[in-house]
Amino acid sequence: MTLNASIGRRLLRAGTIAATFAAWPAVAQQPAPQPAAPAAAAPTGPAAAPPWAQGRPEAAIGVPLAPIAPPPIPTAADKLPIEKLKAPKGFKIELYAAGVGNARTLRQGDKGTVFVGSRLLDKVYAIVDRGGKREVKPIYSGLYRPNGLAFKDGVLYIAELSRISKVEKIEDNLDNPPKPVVIYDDLPKDEAHGWKFLTIGPDDKLYFEVGAPCNICMPSPAHAQIRRINLDGSGAEVVARGIRQIVGMDFSPITKQLYFTENSRDWLSEDIPEDKLNRLTQPGKDNFGYPYCHQGNIADQEFGWGHSCDEFTKPIALLGPHTAALGMRFYTGNTFPSEYRNAIFIARHGSWNRTKKIGGDIVVAKLSEDGTVKSIEPFITGFIENNNYVGRPADVEFVKDGSMLISDDFNGAVYRVTYSSTVGR
Amino acid sequence: MRTLLIALMFVHAMAVPCLAETFQERIGLCLTCRGENGQSDNVEVPSLGAEPAPFVLIQLYLFREKQRRVEPMTDAAKDLTDDDLRQFSDFIAKLPAPKPPQDGPDAARMERGRGLAQSYHCGFCHNPDFSGRDNVPRLAAQREDYLVKALREYKSNTRPGYDASMAEVTQPISDAEILDLAYFMARAQ
Domains (ranges, CATH) in chain B?
2-93 (1.10.760.10), 107-186 (1.10.760.10)
* Residue B165 DSSP code: H
Mean residue pLDDT across chain A: 87
Angle at CA of residue B54, ends B49 and B56, nearest 5°: 45
Cα A122 from Cα A104, distance rounded (Å): 12
CB–CB contact B118 A192 (8 Å): no
Instruction: Report how far Cα B17 is from the mean position of its chain's Cα atoms.
Output: 22
Assigned domain for A312 exists: no
Assigned domain for A126 exists: no
In chain A, what percentage of residues exceed pLDDT 70?
Answer: 84
Residue B28: predicted pLDDT:
67
* CB-defined contacts A:B, below 8 A: 84
Q: Is A57 on the interface with B (CB under 8 A)?
A: no
Instruction: Name beta bridge partners: A228.
Output: A207, A237
Residue from A109, A150, A163 nearest A251 by CA: A150
Residue B143: predicted pLDDT:
96
To the question of pTM greater than 0.90 for the whole model, the response is: no
Cα A302 from Cα A305, distance rounded (Å): 7
Res. A55 pLDDT band, cuts 50 70 90? low
- Report the number of distinct structural domains present in chain A: 1
Residue A143: predicted pLDDT:
96
Res. B23 pLDDT band, cuts 50 70 90? low
Assigned domain for A379 exists: yes
In chain B, what percentage of residues exceed pLDDT 90?
Answer: 53
Residue from A150, A290, A151 nearest A223 by CA: A290
For the beta carbon of residue A62, count every other beta carbon within 10 angstroms: 11
Measured between CB atoms, which of B123, B134, B173 is closest to A61? B123
Assigned domain for A90 exists: yes
CB–CB contact B164 A194 (8 Å): yes
CB–CB contact A191 B82 (8 Å): no
Q: Which residues in chain A are contacts of B83 at CB distance < 8 A?
A: none
DSSP letters for A149-203: EEEETTEEEEE-SS-EEEETTGGG-TTSPPPPEEEE------STT----EEE-TT
Residue from A128, A126, A130 nearest A138 by CA: A126
For the beta carbon of residue B41, count every other beta carbon within 10 angstroms: 10
Name the residue of chain A whose CA is nearest to B85's CA. Answer: A73
CB–CB contact A43 B119 (8 Å): yes
Q: State the SS3 of A11-27.
A: HHHHHHHCCCHHHHHHH
pLDDT tens profile A291-327: 999 999 999 999 999 999 999 999 999 999 999 999 9
Instruction: Name beta bridge partners: A276.
Output: A262, A318
| Whether the predicted pLDDT of A209 surpasses 90 | yes
Residue from B178, B120, B168, B69 nearest A67 by CA: B168
* Host domain of residue A16: 1-21+67-96+337-425
| Whether the predicted pLDDT of A26 surpasses 60 | no
Query: By three-state DSSP, how is residue B4 classified?
Result: helix
CB–CB contact A120 B162 (8 Å): yes
Cα A9 from Cα A11, distance rounded (Å): 5
Cα A325 from Cα A318, distance rounded (Å): 10
Assigned domain for A260 exists: no
Query: By three-state DSSP, how is residue A225 classified?
Result: strand
Residue from A196, A110, A6, A63 nearest A400 by CA: A110
Q: Is A332 on the interface with B (CB under 8 A)?
A: no
Cis peptide before A273 (omega within 30 of 0): yes
Assigned domain for A311 exists: no
Q: Which residues in chain A are contacts of B169 at CB distance < 8 A?
A: 49-50, 53
* Residue A38 DSSP code: P
Assigned domain for A265 exists: no
Are the C-beta atoms of A315 and A309 separated by less than 8 Å?
A: no
Cα B73 from Cα B45, distance rounded (Å): 11
pLDDT tens profile B98-136: 999 998 899 999 999 999 999 888 988 899 999 999 999
Please report the residues numbered 113 through 172 in chain A whose beta carbons come closer than 8 angstroms to any beta carbon of chain B.
120-122, 141-142, 144
Assigned domain for A347 exists: yes
CB–CB contact A61 B66 (8 Å): no
Q: Is the ipTM of this complex over 0.85?
A: no
Q: Could you give phi then psi for residue B3, rounded to 5 degrees?
A: -60, -40
CB–CB contact A47 B82 (8 Å): no
Residue from A398, A281, A396, A267 nearest A331 by CA: A398
